[in-house]
Amino acid sequence: MPQPTETMDQPGGLSRRSVEVIVALCLIGLAGLVLYDSHGRGAGWDGGPQNGFFPARVGWIFLAASAYLLWKSVRRPPETFVTWWQLGQVARVLAPLVLFVALIAPLGLYVAAALFIIAFMLITGKARWWSVVLAAVLVPMACFWIFELQFRVPLPKGPLEAALGY
Amino acid sequence: MDDFSSLLSGFQVALSWHNVGFMALGVILGIVVGVLPGLGGPNGVAILLPLTFGMEPVSAIILLSSIYWGALFGGAITSILFNIPGEAWSVATTFDGYPMAVQGRAAEALTAAFTASFIGALSGVVLITFVAPLVAEFALRFGPAEFFAVFLLTFCSFVGMGRDNRGKIIAALCIGFLLAAVGLDSISGDLRMTFGSMELMRGFDFLVVVIGLFGIGEILLTAEEGLVFKGKHAKIDLKVVLRTWATLPRYWVTLLRSAIVGMWMGVTPGGAIAASFMGYGLAKRFSRRGAQFGKGEMEGVLAPETAAHAAGTSALLPMLALGIPGSATAAVLLGGLLVWGLQPGPMLFVEQKDFVWGLIASMYLGNLAGLVIVLATVPLFAAVMRIPFSFVAPVILIVCAIGAYTISNSVFDIWIMLAFGLVGYVFKKLDYPLAPMVLALVLGDRAEDAFRQALLGSGGSLEVFWANGLVGGLVVIAFVLLLWGPVTEGIARLRRSTSAEPAE
């Protein structure tokens, strides 16, 4: 998997050309990883195609394609990939989201969702405090009603739900 | 007339009370999904798919395909009222739809768009009704080599149809294939590309990837724009609808042309987007009022909408008959078939008659229901767009996370979703196409199986791929499609440079 986070965190690296180059390099690295793994397990013929046979062939095409993309990306005219202001907007969504996902395992999805809504609305919106609290209480409760009670799909639960007897 | 009676019994299946209920529910959910940023057709279907695991397959696919119809309708609302194309294929709708809304003719534009969508979808369904059984019957003769050739054809046409970023299309396809290969190999029983990670043993579930790429990625893109939508108001009443309908027969040539373009492009994958632009371009070229296009001409709304929906619907034809989806949403629906224990492909028409014809009948009814519902509820959904982003976005993100989790009750999948959200954001900004990636991810295992079985049968000789006329023909068409674009462009460039030289 390419790691675009790195490409976005680099200061000054937000011309489109450098992002293209970094993504192409990630893809080349990925192709290398695939080829290493497939050929390591055997990509040849052993009474039939070995299990690395198909991935290895795709891997070679992938390597060629990403090398071509790298060559093309170097020759791009300069252009802005994302402005700092836009990146700030994205970060304001992304930061609470990462926090939310991180909190699901320890706290359970519902509590994490409530905290997520509070954090998100405080960071991005100019919402009044009571509407924030209302949303943070009602949305998880609605989710609980729909998924847990109606569809009987168990979602990750934490200490609070355990204390309430679920 | 065997098929006709099958279709009639299909209507009986689709018209049962609870299936009609699912249809209406699906259409409404679909419109919501189409209107809200970050929830598109593929993503909406992917999130709801796990909830249908316990349902009867017919009801489940009626619900999910109705979401698809609803999402198609919903895309037009945002393009016309907000100048934000909900889906890539509604981009061409904004050209004339938004100017009409600015002139205060939003209701007219919306009616035209919905009706055009309905006509387009209907022509697609008619095509499916008559052609899909024939294709399926024909495909019963296919062996692994032929199937691989059809897969090859699908992927080659993707690359050949792409305009200028073919390298990126190929890279996206490869990523899809390789992601599909991660995990347990079904033939040898070995683990591939897991690098010792327990979590990767299950491989990448395409639903998680779809929710990340389309859902999270889309929200991040929307966030970039500054988190506000500014839209036009619209209220549709019966008088406007009837008045607009009365003018439609005048445009029958445009409608017919777009429907044909759409059906043709829809059967080949990746067609809906190209179809909508082609429909628009052709209408502009041939219309007497072509010069007025882009300033709020109704024909400019009709043409792309009809083409896009004819294509979007026809995309289900190869999905049903061959097991090869023509669009990202069709790919997700195909994944659904596998989950419900149905084997997509030509045998479906033989073994699961009720299912297939129930689905086809529900396409007629679902589109009709969609048209009525969407006309009646436009103001409601336009109001949905006015809810502040700071409230809508976290709810969508929570729903995405729940969707990713419920697929296999794994918190790790939510992290994967997040990672693919970032990938989707960057890829979309860099014009890496996402649909081929999803398609390759869904089809990867089956393409690989077909390839390996074909080679096993031939003892490793590649000659199996031109052993008979059928497979050879398919492979030849695949390569023609692959090379068509580059070769014609090369010739055009050559001609331009030779004609430019004497002038110098």
pLDDT tens for each residue of B394-435: 888 898 898 888 888 888 999 999 999 999 999 988 888 887
Confidence (pLDDT) at B228:
58
- Chain A CB contacts of B432 below 8 Å: 23
CA distances from A154 to A112, A115, A133, A158, B375 (A): 15, 20, 25, 12, 37
* Any A CB within 8 A of B412 CB: no
Q: How many residues does chain A have?
A: 166
Please give the radius of gyration of chain A, using alpha carbons only, rounded to the nearest integer. Answer: 23
What pLDDT, in 10s, does the model give residues A55-92? Answer: 888 999 999 999 999 998 888 887 888 888 888 888 88
Distance, CA of B308 to CA of B311 (rounded, Å): 5
Q: Tell me the torsion sign for CA atoms B373, B379, B383, B385.
A: positive
Using pLDDT thresholds of 50, 70 and 90, give the confidence band for residue A29. Answer: very high
List residues bridging with B191 in a β-sheet. B184
What is the mean pLDDT of the segment spanning B173-186?
86
Q: What contacts B8, CB < 8 A, 6 or more positions away?
A: none
- Kindly state the DSSP code that residue B386 receives in the 8-state scheme: T
Residues 108-127 of A with CB under 8 A from B: 109, 113, 116-117, 120-121, 124-125, 127
For the four alpha carbons of A22, A24, A28 and A29, in that order, the dihedral sign comes to: positive
- Decide if B490 touches A, using CB distance below 8 A: no
Nearest-angstrom CA–CA distance, A65 and A24:
9
pLDDT for position B417 = 92
A120 close to B17: Cβ distance less than 8 angstroms: no
Q: Which residue of A51, A71, A122 is the best one to mutate when testing the B interface, meaning the one whose CB has the most B CBs within 10 A?
A: A51
| DSSP letter for each residue of A20-39 | HHHHHHHHHHHHHHHHHHHH
Which pLDDT score, from 0 to 100, does residue B418 have? 94
Strand partners, A80: A15
What is the percentage of chain B residues whose pLDDT exceeds 90?
A: 5
Residue ranges of A 8-27 with Cβ closer than 8 A to chain B: 8, 16, 19-20, 23, 27
Centre a 10 Å sphere on the Cβ of residue A76 and count the other Cβ atoms it contains.
13
Structure tokens at A130: 């009571």
pLDDT of B163 higher than 70 = no
Number of CB pairs < 8 Å for A and B?
175
Contacts of A45 in chain B (CB under 8 A): 460
Residue B197: which residues within 8 A CB-CB, separation 6 or more?
none
Q: Confirm or reject contact between B486 and chain A (CB < 8 A).
A: no
Supply the pLDDT for residue B504.
38
Q: What separation in angstroms does the CA of B479 have from each of A61, B160, B326, B461, B486?
A: 16, 9, 18, 19, 12
Of A5, A34, A41, the CB nearest to B190: A41
Confidence category of residue A12, pLDDT binned at 50, 70, 90: very low
pLDDT of B79: 79
- The whole-number average pLDDT for the span B167-183 is 89
In a mutagenesis test of the A interface, which of B166, B178, B220 is the best target, namely the one with the most A β-carbons within 10 Å? B178
pLDDT of residue A62: 93
pLDDT at B292 over 60: yes
Task: Mutation target for A interface from B169, B200, B422: give the one with most A CBs within 10 A.
Answer: B422
Interface of B with A in 438-477 (CB under 8 A): 448, 451-452, 455-456, 460
Residue count of chain B = 504
- Model confidence at B468, pLDDT cuts 50, 70, 90, reads confident
Q: B401 vs A92: CB contact, 8 Å cut-off?
A: no
- Residue A90 near chain B (CB below 8 Å): yes
For B363, the enclosing helix (H) or strand (E) is helix B353-384
Name the residue in chain B with its Cα closest to that of A144. Answer: B402
- pLDDT > 80? residue A45: no
pLDDT at position A86: 85
What percent of chain A is predicted at pLDDT more than 90? 25
Q: Which residue has the tokens 């099958």?
A: B6
Which among B430, B100, B131, B126 is positioned nearest to B297, based on CA atoms?
A: B100
- pLDDT confidence tier of residue B390, bands split at 50, 70 and 90: confident
Q: Residue type at B56?
A: E
Query: A65 and B170 in contact by Cβ < 8 A?
Result: yes
The partner residue sitting opposite A156, judged by closest CB among B388, B405, B419, is B405
With an 8 Å Cβ cutoff, are B426 and A4 in contact? yes
CA B384 to chain centre: 24
To the nearest whole percent, how much of chain B has pLDDT over 70?
92
- For the purposes of burial, counting CB atoms within 10 Å of the CB of B347, is it exposed (0-12), middle (13-18) or buried (19 or more)? middle
Q: B33: which residues sit within 8 A by CB, 6+ positions away?
A: B39, B40, B41, B43, B44, B67, B70, B71, B74
The answer to whether B68 and B45 are in contact (CB under 8 A) is yes
Which among B178, B411, B432 has CB closest to A156? B411
- CB contact B25 to A (< 8 Å): no
User: Could B423 and A1 be called an inter-chain contact, meaning their C-beta atoms sit closer than 8 Å?
Assistant: yes
pLDDT, tens only, B107-145: 888 888 888 888 988 998 998 888 888 888 888 888 888
- Helix or strand or coil: residue A150? helix
Rounded to 5 degrees, φ, ψ at A163 are -65, -30
pLDDT at position B164, please? Answer: 61
Q: Among A71, A48, A14, which residue's Cα sits nearest to residue B187?
A: A48
Tokens 């987007």 found at: B273
Tokens 């209220």 found at: B235
Give me the DSSP letters along B37-71: TT--HHHHHHHHGGGGTTS-HHHHHHHHHHHHHHH
Q: What is the mean pLDDT of residues B136-156?
A: 83
Q: What are the tens digits of pLDDT across the range B200-243?
A: 878 888 888 888 888 888 888 888 776 555 556 666 677 777 88
Residue B370 token pair? 């969609």
Closest CA to B405 of A103, A104, A144, A4: A104
Distance from C-alpha of B262 to C-alpha of A154, rounded to nearest angstrom: 42
Question: Average pLDDT, whole number, for chain B?
Answer: 81
**Contact state of B429 with A81 under an 8 Å Cβ cutoff:** yes
Which residue in the set A33, A124, A154 is minimally distant from B390, CB to CB? A124
Is A5–B220 a contact, with Cβ atoms under 8 angstroms apart? Answer: no
Q: Is the pLDDT of residue B95 over 80?
A: yes
pLDDT at A10 over 60: no
Measured CA to CA in angstroms, residue B344 lies from A133, B102, B268, B319, B330 at distances of 47, 46, 18, 7, 12
Residue B198 has pLDDT above 80, yes or no: no
Is residue A130 pLDDT above 60, yes or no? Answer: yes
Distance CA A160, CA B10 (A): 48
Chain A residues with CB-CB distance to B393 below 8 A: 93, 120, 124
Closest residue to A147, CB basis, from B187, B394, B402: B402
Q: What whole-number distance in Å separates Cα of residue B430 and Cα of residue B4?
A: 48
Measure CB to CB from residue B394 to each of A41, A68, A120 and give the nearest one. Answer: A120
Compute the average pLDDT of residues A129-156.
84
DSSP per residue, B168-193: HHHHHHHHHHHHHHSEE-TTT--EES
C-alpha B140: how far from chain center? 25
Nearest neighbour of A49 by CB, restricted to B171, B402, B452: B452
